[in-house]
């Protein structure tokens, strides 16, 4: 008899939990860059996200490649929303693609969780209750770089970035914190790989330091060519120019360079240690900051799913806003405009055995938010 | 704007042009001789760079890597010509564009499958590392001078090949009258394979040389391919001389425009706007140049009829 009741009880619990689980199913559409020049970034975000949601049976993910083209990203988003009926979209790396996809997505009543792109327009006037950025507002890392440049005593910086929304945010962010003069300010073409012309300008400018934001393959070309040019100026940049994916290709030219990041492999907390070791075990390489952002996005989603059903959007949104998960970055919360408040670190490129990687040197900006909060009416 | 900066930028433009020439020489030959629009030409650039990175990783020698890029891309060219391209000569241009576009996708995916999506490592040898002083206090990268030198040597070599050798005579004859030359007993399909291999090899060499200062990654050839098409349209389709002049013209215009236009606009407007508008117009400049040349000479600078 006792056996029967326990069996029945078990059955009831099981069926209850399966009903419970059904209401909790979430379909995620991941649109990210998996081919072409910027594919390393998209692959890291995808792998980080997949690692986070690997053991969660209630999440199903559809992944598509946007080829870093805004028109393709828009088509994919439409298809995912209309015919695949996804609940949440995520994955976009590039700010020009985010500008094309995010407003339409959130206006159609879907959540968008950005694992990377954080253009200023979506943080300020264009903010939306269904849009969350789990990485940073675009200006953040560059603001920290500007702050670092002051403390390093730089007085005359030459600054360059690609000509697209995030590039403009980058230079704006650096200039906001940097107190010295500018020896030159240059916008390059997105995807440009040859920087001979810009390097010649740096040489002629009389600058005492160089700040550059060139994510992905662009940064590899710049650093290699810069070190060959024989110009001996200190270089500072955001982590995007020195992430784990490109350090190997840049080679020793990157050694000793200071860069700013919200994440680093050596941040000392349990969630980060677990993430770094699991990522290495799963994929056989060191994670980059992009992977950590993808991972945190997955964990954020899971944290909200454990408290609310996705169909109850208001409740789900409230749970997202609480950011009740252990981030690989340590302390993490959302500001009013759904962008992170977090520490930004200064890292240095070092050699661990034969592998180039980053080590935290200091905290650049503590509990840093963004300047666009006041422009956002939400 | 000093003379030294201007001259350095001129050299940069030349070096960029030389690299475009290596790409467009093959493209224009293939189009001129076989009438084939080969969108997959950028893939040979990528294959060359990956062959070089592979050999450099195995042997540590940059020179062997350069040789490997030339040979590897040429072999890939021969295989692809025999297996796929050969079937396209008699088809119209739309079919060729579709098929070679499919080749881009296949080759890119294939390379990603073998080497992964992350950029690879290819370093220049110590002897070419760093910069040397030229005249008037101009300091210039040794490696870029090396690229310019190699480019001129190859241009001279191609000129001799086309004008002085039997193979060159056949290539020119093939451009003029395909049926007549095969009627005269020349093995036209072998000729096509050779021309295709030369084009692929040169593109591969360009990929390896540039891969060493940029990055070796999947999809690296496509941006260059677009510029190479601009070059052959400007130079006149089928003309090696046109490809050479067109390449230098595009390289120098692009570099000089990109650098000096923002500075020029700063005379009239506020600095941030000048930088942003100047760089935007700077990147359009070569297309404006192409449009102007086509208005004056619809078949390009050295094109026939």
Domain-located, residue A239 = yes
Q: What is the DSSP letter of A97?
A: H
* Chain A hits for B139, Cβ within 8 Å: 203, 229-230
Check pLDDT > 60 for residue B115.
Answer: yes
Question: Is A185's CB within 8 Å of B12's CB?
Answer: no
Indicate whether A55 and A183 sit together in one domain: no
Token pair in block for residue B254: 């692009």
Domain-located, residue A222 = yes
Q: Give the model's pLDDT for residue B305.
A: 53
The minimal CB distance from B276 to the residues A187, A229, A251 is found for A187
Q: Give the pLDDT band of residue A338 (cuts 50, 70, 90).
A: very high
User: Among residues B234, B238, B232, B228, which one has the least CA distance to residue B294?
Assistant: B234
pLDDT in tens, A54-100: 988 899 999 999 988 899 999 999 999 999 999 999 999 999 999 99
* Chain B hits for A34, Cβ within 8 Å: 117
Q: Give the pLDDT band of residue A6 (cuts 50, 70, 90).
A: low
Token pair in block for residue A374: 């006041």
Given a contact cutoff of 8 angstroms between Cβ atoms, the answer to whether B28 and B208 are in contact is: no
The minimal CB distance from B283 to the residues A189, A198, A228 is found for A189
Indicate whether A129 and A37 sit together in one domain: yes
The minimal CB distance from B275 to the residues A40, A185, A193 is found for A185
Let me know the angle formed at the C-alpha of B35 by B31 and B38, rounded to the nearest 5 degrees: 55
From the CB of residue A18, how many other CB atoms can be counted at a distance below 10 Å? Answer: 9
Question: Is A201's CB within 8 Å of B259's CB?
Answer: yes
Q: Give the model's pLDDT for residue A19.
A: 43
Burial of B75 (0-12, 13-18, 19+ CB in 10 A): middle
Q: Give the model's pLDDT for residue A7.
A: 57
From the CB of residue A253, how many other CB atoms can be counted at a distance below 10 Å? Answer: 20
Domain that holds residue A203: 139-261+344-374
Please state, in angstroms and rounded to a whole number, the distance separating the CA atoms of residues B229 and B31.
Answer: 11
Please state, in angstroms and rounded to a whole number, the distance separating the CA atoms of residues B255 and B9.
Answer: 7
**Percentage with pLDDT > 70 across chain A:** 93
Q: Give the model's pLDDT for residue B302.
A: 84
Nearest CA of chain A to the CA of B194: how many Å?
Answer: 30
CATH number assigned to the domain comprising residue A250: 3.40.50.2300
Residues near A335 by beta carbon (within 8 Å), at least 6 away in sequence: A341, A369, A370, A373
Question: Is A185's CB within 8 Å of B272's CB?
Answer: yes
Domain range annotation of chain B? 13-124+141-296
Nearest CA of chain A to the CA of B271: how many Å?
Answer: 9
Please state, in angstroms and rounded to a whole number, the distance separating the CA atoms of residues A127 and A366.
Answer: 24
Q: Give the model's pLDDT for residue B263.
A: 77
* Chain B hits for A225, Cβ within 8 Å: 141, 213-214
Nearest CA of chain A to the CA of B220: how many Å?
Answer: 7
Task: Report the DSSP beta bridge partners of residue A88.
Answer: A28, A111
**ipTM > 0.90 (yes/no):** no
Phi-psi region of A256 (alpha: psi -120 to 50; beta: other; left: phi over 0): left
Q: Give the model's pLDDT for residue A20.
A: 46
The minimal CB distance from A194 to the residues B16, B124, B216 is found for B16
Cα-to-chain-centroid distance, residue B10: 19
Question: Is B118's CB within 8 Å of A35's CB?
Answer: no
Q: Give the model's pLDDT for residue B37.
A: 85
Torsion angle, alpha carbons of A33, B207, A191, A118, to 10: 40
Q: Give the pLDDT band of residue B224 (cuts 50, 70, 90).
A: confident
Given a contact cutoff of 8 angstroms between Cβ atoms, the answer to whether A82 and A58 are in contact is: no
Indicate whether A127 and A94 sit together in one domain: yes
pLDDT in tens, A100-126: 999 999 999 999 999 999 998 999 998
pLDDT in tens, A212-253: 998 877 888 888 888 888 888 999 999 888 888 778 778 888
Domain-located, residue A2 = no
Indicate whether A213 and A312 sit together in one domain: no
pLDDT in tens, A307-326: 988 889 999 999 999 999 99
Given a contact cutoff of 8 angstroms between Cβ atoms, the answer to whether B215 and B119 are in contact is: yes
Find the range with the poorest average confidence among A8-22, B99-113, B217-231.
A8-22
Nearest CA of chain A to the CA of B72: how many Å?
Answer: 22
Domain-located, residue A163 = yes
Question: Is A35's CB within 8 Å of B219's CB?
Answer: yes
Indicate whether A368 and A233 sit together in one domain: yes
Indicate whether A219 and A361 sit together in one domain: yes
Strands A340-352 and A258-261: what pairing?
A: antiparallel
The minimal CB distance from B117 to the residues A39, A187, A225 is found for A39
Domain-located, residue A361 = yes
Nearest CA of chain A to the CA of B53: how many Å?
Answer: 11
Q: Give the model's pLDDT for residue A319.
A: 92
Q: How many residues can be counted in chain A? A: 378
The minimal CB distance from B217 to the residues A37, A186, A204 is found for A37
Nearest residue on chain B to A36, alpha-carbon basis: B219
Domain-located, residue A1 = no
Check pLDDT > 50 for residue A362.
Answer: yes
Q: Give the pLDDT band of residue A159 (cuts 50, 70, 90).
A: very high
Domain-located, residue A339 = no
Nearest residue on chain B to A249, alpha-carbon basis: B121
Q: Give the pLDDT band of residue B1 (cuts 50, 70, 90).
A: low
* Chain A hits for B218, Cβ within 8 Å: 35-36, 39
Question: Is B118's CB within 8 Å of A249's CB?
Answer: yes
The CA distances from residue A234 to A61, A256, A264, B277, in Å, are 43, 9, 22, 29
pLDDT in tens, A11-40: 555 544 444 445 678 999 999 998 776 788
Cα-to-chain-centroid distance, residue A25: 25
Question: Is B9's CB within 8 Å of A197's CB?
Answer: yes
Q: Give the model's pLDDT for residue B31.
A: 86
Domain-located, residue A326 = yes
Question: Is B213's CB within 8 Å of A224's CB?
Answer: yes
Q: Give the model's pLDDT for residue B205.
A: 93
Indicate whether A365 and A313 sit together in one domain: no
Given a contact cutoff of 8 angstroms between Cβ atoms, the answer to whether A264 and A276 are in contact is: no
pLDDT in tens, B191-206: 888 888 999 999 999 9
Nearest residue on chain B to A175, alpha-carbon basis: B272
Q: Give the model's pLDDT for residue A10.
A: 55
Q: What is the mean pLDDT of chain B?
A: 86
Question: Is B5's CB within 8 Å of A168's CB?
Answer: no
Question: Is B8's CB within 8 Å of A225's CB?
Answer: no
Task: Report the DSSP beta bridge partners of residue B304.
Answer: none
Please state, in angstroms and rounded to a whole number, the distance separating the CA atoms of residues A272 and B240.
Answer: 58
Cβ-based contacts under 8 A for chains A and B: 124
Question: Is B279's CB within 8 Å of A196's CB?
Answer: no
Domain count, chain A: 2
Given a contact cutoff of 8 angstroms between Cβ atoms, the answer to whether A211 and A237 are in contact is: yes
Indicate whether A132 and A98 sit together in one domain: yes
Host H or E run for residue A117: none
* Chain B hits for A39, Cβ within 8 Å: 112, 117, 217-219
Nearest residue on chain B to A248, alpha-carbon basis: B121
Indicate whether A12 and A129 sit together in one domain: yes
Q: What is the mean pLDDT of residues A199-205?
A: 88
Indicate whether A65 and A111 sit together in one domain: yes
Token pair in block for residue B154: 């190859």
Please state, in angstroms and rounded to a whole number, the distance separating the CA atoms of residues A175 and A146.
Answer: 7
Q: What is the DSSP letter of A165?
A: H
DSSP sequence for chain B: --HHHHHHHHHHHHHHHHHHHHHHHHHHHHHHHH----TTHHHHHHHHHHHHHHHHHHH--HHHHHHHHHHHHHHHHHHHHHHTGGGGTTS-HHHHHHHHHHHHHHHHHHHHHHH-SS-B-----GGG-SEEE-STT-EEEHHHHHHHHHHHHHHHHHHHHHHHSHHHHHHHHHHH-HHHHHHTT--HHHHHHHHHHHHHHHHHHHHHHHHTTS-B-TT-HHHHHHHHHHHHHHH-TT-HHHHHHHHHHHHHHHHHHHHHHHHHHTTTS-HHHHHHHHHHHHHHHHHHHHHHHHHH-TT-TT---
pLDDT in tens, B15-53: 999 999 999 998 988 888 888 888 889 999 999 999 998
Residues near B98 by beta carbon (within 8 Å), at least 6 away in sequence: none
Check pLDDT > 90 for residue B265.
Answer: no
Please state, in angstroms and rounded to a whole number, the distance separating the CA atoms of residues A316 and A310.
Answer: 6
Question: Is B4's CB within 8 Å of A187's CB?
Answer: no
Question: Is B219's CB within 8 Å of A204's CB?
Answer: no
Check pLDDT > 90 for residue B240.
Answer: no
Q: Give the model's pLDDT for residue A18.
A: 43
Torsion sign across C-alpha atoms B153, B46, B28, B165: positive
Q: What is the mean pLDDT of residues B299-303?
A: 82
B240-265 and B271-296 helices cross at what angle (nearest 10)?
Answer: 150
Task: Report the DSSP beta bridge partners of residue A188.
Answer: A162
Q: Give the model's pLDDT for residue A74.
A: 95
Please state, in angstroms and rounded to a whole number, the distance separating the CA atoms of residues A322 and A21.
Answer: 22
Which is more confidently placed, B117 or A208? A208
**pTM for the structure as a whole:** 0.76
Q: What is the DSSP letter of A157?
A: E
Q: How many contiguous H segments (helices) and E segments (strands) does chain A have?
A: 13, 13
Q: What is the mean pLDDT of chain A?
A: 88
Indicate whether A198 and A101 sit together in one domain: no
Q: Give the model's pLDDT for residue A17.
A: 46
pLDDT in tens, B146-200: 999 999 999 999 889 888 888 888 888 887 787 888 888 888 888 888 888 999 9
């Amino acid at each position: 008899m006792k056996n029967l009741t326990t069996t029945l009880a078990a059955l009831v619990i099981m069926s209850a939990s399966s009903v419970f689980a059904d209401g909790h199913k979430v379909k995620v559409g991941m649109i990210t860059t998996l081919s072409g020049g910027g594919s390393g970034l998209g692959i890291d975000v995808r792998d980080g996200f997949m690692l986070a949601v690997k053991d969660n049976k209630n999440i199903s993910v559809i992944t598509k490649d946007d080829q870093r083209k805004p028109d393709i990203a828009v088509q994919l988003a439409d298809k995912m929303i209309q015919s695949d009926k996804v609940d949440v979209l995520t994955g976009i790396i590039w700010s020009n693609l985010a500008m094309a996809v995010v407003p339409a997505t959130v206006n159609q009543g879907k959540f968008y969780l950005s694992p990377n792109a954080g253009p200023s327009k979506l943080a300020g006037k264009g903010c939306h209750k269904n849009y969350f950025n789990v990485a940073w507002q675009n200006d953040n890392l560059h603001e920290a770089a500007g702050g670092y440049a002051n403390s390093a005593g730089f007085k005359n910086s030459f600054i360059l970035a690609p000509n697209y929304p995030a590039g403009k945010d980058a230079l704006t962010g650096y200039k906001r914190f940097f107190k010295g003069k500018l020896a030159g300010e240059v916008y390059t073409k997105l995807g440009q790989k040859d920087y001979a012309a810009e390097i010649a300008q740096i040489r002629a400018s009389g600058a005492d330091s160089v700040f550059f934001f060139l994510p992905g393959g662009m940064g590899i070309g710049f650093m290699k060519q810069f070190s060959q040019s024989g110009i001996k100026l200190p270089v500072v940049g955001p982590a995007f120019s020195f992430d784990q994916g490109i350090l190997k290709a840049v080679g020793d030219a990157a050694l000793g360079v200071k860069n700013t990041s919200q994440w680093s492999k050596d941040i000392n907390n349990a969630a980060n240690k677990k993430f770094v070791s699991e990522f290495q075990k799963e994929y056989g390489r060191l994670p980059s900051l992009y992977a950590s952002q993808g991972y945190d996005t997955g964990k954020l989603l899971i944290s909200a799913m454990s408290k609310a059903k996705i169909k109850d959007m208001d409740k789900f949104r409230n749970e997202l806003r609480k950011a009740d998960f252990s981030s690989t970055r340590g302390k993490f919360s959302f500001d009013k405009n759904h962008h992170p408040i977090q520490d930004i670190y200064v890292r240095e490129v070092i050699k661990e055995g034969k592998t180039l990687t980053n080590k935290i040197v200091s905290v650049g900006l503590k509990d840093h938010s963004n300047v666009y909060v006041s422009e956002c009416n939400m | 704007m000093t003379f030294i900066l201007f001259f350095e930028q001129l050299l940069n433009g030349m070096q960029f042009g030389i690299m475009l020439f290596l790409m467009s020489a093959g493209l224009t030959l293939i189009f001129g001789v076989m009438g084939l629009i080969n969108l997959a030409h950028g893939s040979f650039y990528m294959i060359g760079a990956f062959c070089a990175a592979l050999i450099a990783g195995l042997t540590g020698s940059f020179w062997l890597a350069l040789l490997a890029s030339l040979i590897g891309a040429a072999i890939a060219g021969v295989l692809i010509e025999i297996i796929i391209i050969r079937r396209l000569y008699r088809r119209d241009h739309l079919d060729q564009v579709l098929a070679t576009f499919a080749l881009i996708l296949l080759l890119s995916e294939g390379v990603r499958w073998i080497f992964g999506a992350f950029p690879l490592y290819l370093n220049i040898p110590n002897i070419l590392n760093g910069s040397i002083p030229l005249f008037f206090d101009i300091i210039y990268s040794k490696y870029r001078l090396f690229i310019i030198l190699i480019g001129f040597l190859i241009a001279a070599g191609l000129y001799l090949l086309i004008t002085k050798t039997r193979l060159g005579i056949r290539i020119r004859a093939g451009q003029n009258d395909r049926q007549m030359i095969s009627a005269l007993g020349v093995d036209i399909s072998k000729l096509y394979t050779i021309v295709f291999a030369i084009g692929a090899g040169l593109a591969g060499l360009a990929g390896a040389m540039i891969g060493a200062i940029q990055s070796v990654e999947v999809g690296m050839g496509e941006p260059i391919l677009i510029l190479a098409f601009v070059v052959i349209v400007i130079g006149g389709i089928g003309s090696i001389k046109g490809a050479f002049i067109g390449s230098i013209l595009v390289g120098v215009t692009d570099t000089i425009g990109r650098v000096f236009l923002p500075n020029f606009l700063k005379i009239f407007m506020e600095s941030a706007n000048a930088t942003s508008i100047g760089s935007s117009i700077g990147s359009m400049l070569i297309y404006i140049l192409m449009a102007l040349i086509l208005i004056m000479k619809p078949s390009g600078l050295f094109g026939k009829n």
